[in-house]
A and B are shown apart, each in its own frame.
Chain A
Amino acid sequence: MKALEKLDEHLKTRVTDLSKAKEQGRKVIGYPAGGYFPEELALACDAIPICFIQGGNNETLKDAGAYICRFFDPFWRSQVGYLTSGKDPYYTIADLIVIPITDNHVRVFSNTVGYYTPEIESFVFGVPHVKDNLALEYYLQGIRRLKNKLEEFTGVEITESRLKQSIALCNRERELLREISLLRKSENLVLNSKDFVALNHGSFLADKEVMIAILESFIKELKDTPPLSKDGPRILLTGSTLAQGDSKVMDIIEDTGGVIVMEEFAEGIRPYWGEVKVEGDLMANLAESYFMDRVCPGWFRPGAERLDFLIQLAKDYKAAGVIWYQLLYRESYKVESYFFPARLKKETGLPMLTVESEYDAMETGPLKTRIETLIETIRR
C-alpha cells in the first residue's frame, strides 16, 4: 500500500523534523499512551503532540529495573526504561511531558519523570475511575489546568477559534480511522489488522495533517484492493496495551491462520469511535468526549461498560473467538479475565483465550501452542 509507505517515509524523518520545529520555537509535548490527553489542546497552541507508545522489548525492562521493581506492567516499565535510557529519541525530545494519571502503573512513570528526570518539565492530572458527573467535573478541572499550563508553556493563547480548528482536525483523523476500521465488519475483508494498527500507531507520532492525507489515500487505495482470504477464524483481539513494537501475539495469530478483525485496547490504540462537538463549551466537549463517551478501560470500576462493548464488537465484527491479551501484573485485566469468559460464552457462544506477556522471547513457544489450539478448536 502506497499510503503505508508514505507513512513510513514520514516517520523516518520525523525526529529530525521535530528537532527542526523546536529550533523554530515550536514546543513538543510528550504524553504517554492511554487516550486521556486531548491532543487538541497541544495543537491549538501550535505545539506538537507526540505519544509514547513504544514497547515489546525486554531489554528496556532491564533499563527500567534501576528505577522500579519488577511487579508493574511491562509496558509502563518500558516507558520508564525508554525515558531514562534515552534509547528512543521520541522520549527525550519532548519539552514538556503531560501525564494523565489513570492507575498505579502510570504513577510509576509519573514518579520517574518527577523524581529521576526533573530536568524534563512535567504536568500531571488525574483521570477518575468511575463515570459520573463528579468524575467528569474532576477530569474537566484537570484539562482546564492543562490548558493554562500549555498556554503558559508555549506562550500561545488557546482561543476558541484555534481550539475549534484543532478539534476539527482531530475529528477528521478519528473519522478516517473509524471509516477504515468499520470496513472490517464485512465478510469480505480488504485490510489486515497489522496495517490498521500501523496506521493507528503512526497517528500518535505523525504530523496531524500529513496523517490525515495518508489515511485519505489509504481509503482510496482500499477501493481497488481485492478481498483477503476468508479461510481463517475471525478474531477479536483485546487487552490493556498494544504497543508499537509489540507484535508477537498478532504475528502468531496470523501465522496460525487466524484473522484479527478488531483490536480493542486501552493503551496504544487511539480511541476513534467518538467525536468532539464543535459547538458550545469546547473544554466541556473535550471532557465529555475523552472521558464520558469513550468506552472505559479495564481499570474503571465497574468495568461492565467495556465488557458490554466487547460483546457488541464480537457480534458486529462476526468474531469466531476472542483473544484476551494482557500484560503481566496489570491486575485490572487479570481479574476481569477470570469472570468475563463465562459471560461471553453465555451471550455469544464464543470461546476466549487469555494470554499474557512480559515482553519475553521465551514466551513465544507457549503462546504459539495456546493460540494454535484456539484457532484449531474454532476451525473444527
Chain B
Amino acid sequence: MADYYDELLKLCGFEDREIEEERPRIEKAFERLGIGPEDMETADSWVRQNHDVTLKGVSKLLGAWLKELIDVVLARDEGKKIVYYGFPAILGPGLILSASSKDVFVSAPDMVLDHTMGQIFNKLTPILEAGEANGLPPGHALCSLWQAKIGGIAKGMIPVPDLALASSYYCDMGSKADDLVTALYGVPVAYIDGVMDSYWGEFPDYLPERVHYLGAQINQALKKAEEVLGIEIVPDAWERSQKDSRPFRDNLVRLVELMKADPVPISITELELMEALSSSSTGRGIREGIRAMDILIPEMEERVKAGRGVSEKGAPRVMLRAGHTSDPRVTHLVEETGLAVPLTFILGSWGGVRVKPKGNYHTPGEIIADYEMSGGYYHGTEAQIKFYEKAAELMKLDGFIATYLYNCRPVATISHPQKKYLEETTGLPVLSLEIDGFDSRAYSADSLRTKVETFAYMLKEKKKSAKA
C-alpha cells in the first residue's frame, strides 16, 4: 500500500518494486531521521528546484544517495560492524574492508547526511546545530562536515561506529574530531597518518619515503581494523574492490569527457552528486551509482548530439573547486549568471588531469599511497593549484572560480597563491571565492551572488570583445 513518501522516492528514481521491498527499512530509517509526511512537500519542491529530474539518471542518482542513507541509519540494527572514515578520504582502505566481509559497513556518513538531509530534505540545519552543541561550536571555523557527523550521532540518527578510520594525512580537524568521538562514545580509532611536507616546486615528484610511510600507515590501520572488527582481510580484497568500482571510475571519465561539449550538457551539480558518491560509499552506493551512470550517459550523449545543454552555446567556461554538498543553490548560482561549468577540481581527477603514479610498489598500502601522491590532493598546496592549471587546457576554460573553504585548513592554504599563480601561468582571470562547501547558513548563494555576477559579467564582456 502506498505511503506518504512513495511519490518522493519515485521522484528520486525508486522503482515501485524497490519501495515495496524496502518499505519496512525506509519507514524505520525515516522515523529515526525525523522525516514525516509534513516534509514531503518541501522535499518535492526542493528536489525539483535543485536537480534536473527530467533526466532519469539524475533521479536514480538521488535514489542511490537515499539508499546509502537508509543503509547507514540501519547498519547497527542490521548487525553490521560499522566503520566511518573521514572526508576527504583515501578510499582504498575502506574499499578493502568492505570487500573483505559482508558484515562490515564502511561509509562517510557526514557526506551521506549532507547529500540527503541537505540536498533532498533541506533539513540539515538541526543536525549541524547538534554538532555545534557537542564539541564543535560555531565561530571557530570548524569543519561543518564534521558538525554534521557529530550532530548525526548525537541526535541518534546515525549509529556510533565500531571503528573510525582517521584521515591523519590531510586534515588536522578530522583526526582530532575522531578523538572527540572517542572521548564522547569510546570509539577506537585507526589513524592513517601522513605529512604534507612537499616543498614548493616539487610536484609532480614526491619522495619515496612519503609513499612508504603513508603506505605502511595504511597497512597498519588495516591490521588494526582486523583486530577491532574481528575480520580477516581477504588476500584479493584490493583487486576485487578495484574491479567492482572500476565501472564507476570509467563512467566518471566518460561523463567528464561529455562535459567538454559546448554547450555544457548538464549542471555540474549532478556530476558532483556522482563524484561525491564514489568517495562516500564503499557498498550499495557504488553499485547504484554505476546503474545511474549507465542511464545518465546516454541521456547526456543525446543532449550533446542535439546541441542542447544548461548553458548558452559559447558561454564563458569556468572551473569550480567542488560542488556544495548540502545546498545546490550555491553551485547553481554560477550557472545562473550565464557561465558554463564543465569541471570541478574534484572531477578533474577523472578527466585526465591526474599524473600517473610511479608504480613501483607492491603492498596494498603503498599502491594506494603512490596513487594518492600522484593524484596531488594529498601532496600539497602547489599540486592542487597545478591541477587547475592543467584543467584550463583540457576544458578550454575562460576563467576560474577558485573557491576555498574557510573552515577547511588544507583547502584554505590555496586562498591567495592560487589566484596569483593561475593568473600568471594561464593568463586567465581568477575569482578567489571564500565559501563553506558543506553548510550554507553563513555562506549562502545570495551572499556570494554579487561577487559571482560581477565576475561573470566581466568574463562575458571579455569574450564578446575577443570575438569582435
Chain B residues 163-202 with CB under 8 Å of chain A are: 166, 168, 171-173, 175-180, 182-184, 189, 191, 193-201
Interface centre among B172, B189, B415, B421 (most CB of A within 10 A): B172
A71-B407, A115-B382 are contacts. A334–B140 as well, Cβ < 8 Å? yes
Of the 9-residue stretches A20-28, A100-108, A206-214, A313-321, which lies at the interface with chain B? A100-108
User: Which residues of the partner chain B approach A124 to less than 8 Å between Cβ atoms?
Assistant: 197-199
On chain A, which size bracket covers the interface?
35 or more
Chain B residues within an 8 Å CB radius of A135: 193, 213
Q: Which of A227-235, A271-279, A299-307 contacts B (4 or more CB under 8 A)?
A: A299-307
Which B residues are in CB contact (< 8 Å) with A332? 172-173, 176
Chain A residues positioned under 8 Å from B178 (CB to CB): 301
- B135 near A141 with CB under 8 A, answer no
Minimum CB distance partner of B134 in chain A:
A338
Closest beta carbon of chain A to B226's beta carbon, Å: 17
In the complex, identify which listed stretch (A61-69, A174-182, A247-255) lies at the interface while the others stay far away: A61-69
In the complex, the answer to whether A338 meets B180 with C-beta atoms within 8 Å is yes
Distance in angstroms from B195 CB to nearest chain A CB is: 3
In the assembled complex, the Cα of A211 lies from the Cα of B103 at a distance in Å of 62
Give the residues from 121 to 141 in chain A that come closer than 8 angstroms, CB to CB, to chain B.
122-130, 132, 134-135, 137-138, 141
CB of B93 within 8 A of chain A? no
Among residues of B, the one whose C-beta sits closest to the C-beta of A337 is B135
Cα distance A68–B381 when bound, in Å? 12
A111 partner, pick from B171, B194, B413, beta carbons under 8 A: B413
Instruction: Kindly list chain A residues whose C-beta atoms are within 8 Å of the C-beta of B197.
Output: 101, 124-126, 142
Interface status of A329 (Cβ within 8 A of chain B): yes
What residues of A have a CB within 8 angstroms of the CB of B191 in the complex? Answer: 129-130, 301-302
> Which chain B residue shows the least CB distance to A304?
B179
The verdict on B78 contacting chain A, using a C-beta distance below 8 Å, is no
Contacts of A351 in B (CB 8 A): none
B276 located at the interface, meaning its Cβ lies under 8 Å from any Cβ of chain A in the complex: no
**Which residues of A87-103 are within 8 A (CB) of B?**
101, 103
- Cα distance A302–B191 in the bound complex, in angstroms: 9
Which A residues lie within 8 Å of B196 (CB)?
A: 101, 104, 107, 126
Q: Is A372 an interface residue (CB 8 A)?
A: no
Contact B199 A68 (CB under 8 A): no
**Chain A residues near B177 (CB-CB < 8 A):** 335
Q: Known contacts A134-B217, A331-B140, A339-B184; decide if A129 and B195 are in contact (CB<8 Å).
A: yes
Which A residues from 332 to 380 make CB contacts under 8 A with B? 332, 334-336, 338-339
B415 touches A335 (CB 8 A): no
A338/B135 in contact, CB under 8 A: yes
A265 is an interface residue with CB less than 8 A from chain B: no
The reply to whether the CB of A219 lies closer than 8 angstroms to some CB of chain B is no
Q: Mark contacts of A286-312 with chain B using CB atoms, 8 A cut-off: 1 yes-contact digit, 0 otherwise.
A: 000000000000110111000000000
Q: Given the known A-B contacts A331-B173, A335-B135, are A301 and B200 also in contact in the complex, defined by CB atoms under 8 Å?
A: no
A70 to B140, CA, bound (A): 11
Q: Which residues of A are found within 8 Å of B434, using beta-carbon distances?
A: 69
Say yes or no: B381 contacts A107, CB within 8 Å. Answer: yes
Q: What residues of B have a CB within 8 angstroms of the CB of A329 in the complex?
A: 140-141, 409
The reply on B3 being an interface residue by CB < 8 A is no
* Closest partner residue, chain A, to B183 (CB atom): A339
B310 at the interface (CB under 8 A from A): no
Let me know if A104 and B409 touch, CB within 8 A.
yes
What residues of chain B lie closer than 8 Å to A103, measured between beta carbons? 172, 409
Residues in A whose Cβ lies below 8 Å from that of B180 = 335, 338-339
Residues 57-91 (chain A) with a chain B CB within 8 angstroms:
66-72
CB of A101 within 8 A of CB of B140, answer no
What residues of chain B lie closer than 8 Å to A168, measured between beta carbons? none
Partner of B195, one of A137, A138, A336: A138
Please report the C-alpha to C-alpha distance between residue A101 and residue B404 in the assembled complex, in whole angstroms.
Answer: 21
> Contacts A302-B179, A339-B183 known; A122 to B140 CB distance under 8 Å?
no
In the bound assembly, the distance between CA atoms of A347 and B166 in angstroms comes to 28
Could you tell me the distance between the alpha carbons of A331 and B376 in the complex, rounded to whole angstroms?
24
Known: A107-B380, A301-B168. A339 touches B416 (CB 8 A): no
Considering the complex, give the chain A residue whose CB is closest to the CB of B220: A134
Residue from B141, B217, B412, B416 having most chain A Cβ neighbours under 10 A: B416
Given the known A-B contacts A301-B179, A303-B179, A335-B177, are A122 and B421 also in contact in the complex, defined by CB atoms under 8 Å? no
Residue of B nearest to A332 (CB): B176
B148 to chain A, nearest CB (A): 16
- Do B209 and A141 have beta carbons less than 8 Å apart? yes
Q: Tell me whether B416 and A68 are in contact (CB under 8 A).
A: yes
For the complex, give the distance between the alpha carbons of A116 and B217 in Å: 33
Mask: chain A, 132-162; 1 = CB below 8 Å from B; 0 = not: 1011011001100000000000000000000
Q: Indicate if the CB atoms of B213 and A302 lie closer than 8 Å.
A: no
Known contacts: A69-B406, A332-B176, A335-B176. The answer to whether A104 contacts B413 by CB under 8 A is yes
Q: In the docked arrangement, what's the CA distance between A66 and B200, Å?
A: 19
In the assembled complex, B36 has its CB within 8 A of some CB on chain A: no
Given A66-B416, A104-B413, A334-B140, A114 and B195 touching (CB < 8 A)?
no
B201 neighbours in A (Cβ, 8 Å) = 114
Please, how many angstroms separate the alpha-carbon atoms of A101 and B380 in the complex?
11
Note all chain B residues with C-beta closer than 8 A to A141: 209
The reply to whether B406 and A302 form a contact with Cβ atoms under 8 Å apart is: no
By a beta-carbon cutoff of 8 Å, the part of chain B in contact with chain A is 135-136, 140-143, 166, 168, 171-173, 175-180, 182-184, 189, 191, 193-201, 209-210, 213, 216-217, 220, 380-382, 404, 406-407, 409-410, 412-413, 415-417, 421, 434
24 A–B contacts, CB within 8 A, in A order: A68-B413, A68-B415, A69-B406, A69-B434, A72-B409, A72-B412, A101-B195, A101-B197, A104-B171, A104-B410, A107-B410, A107-B413, A124-B198, A124-B199, A128-B213, A134-B213, A134-B216, A134-B217, A138-B195, A303-B176, A331-B409, A332-B172, A332-B173, A336-B179
The 7 closest A-B pairs by CB, nearest first: A114-B200, A126-B197, A126-B195, A104-B409, A339-B183, A69-B415, A338-B135
| A-B contacts besides A69-B404, A107-B410, 13 pairs, CB < 8 Å | A69-B416, A101-B195, A103-B172, A104-B172, A104-B409, A111-B381, A114-B382, A124-B198, A132-B220, A134-B220, A135-B213, A302-B191, A339-B183
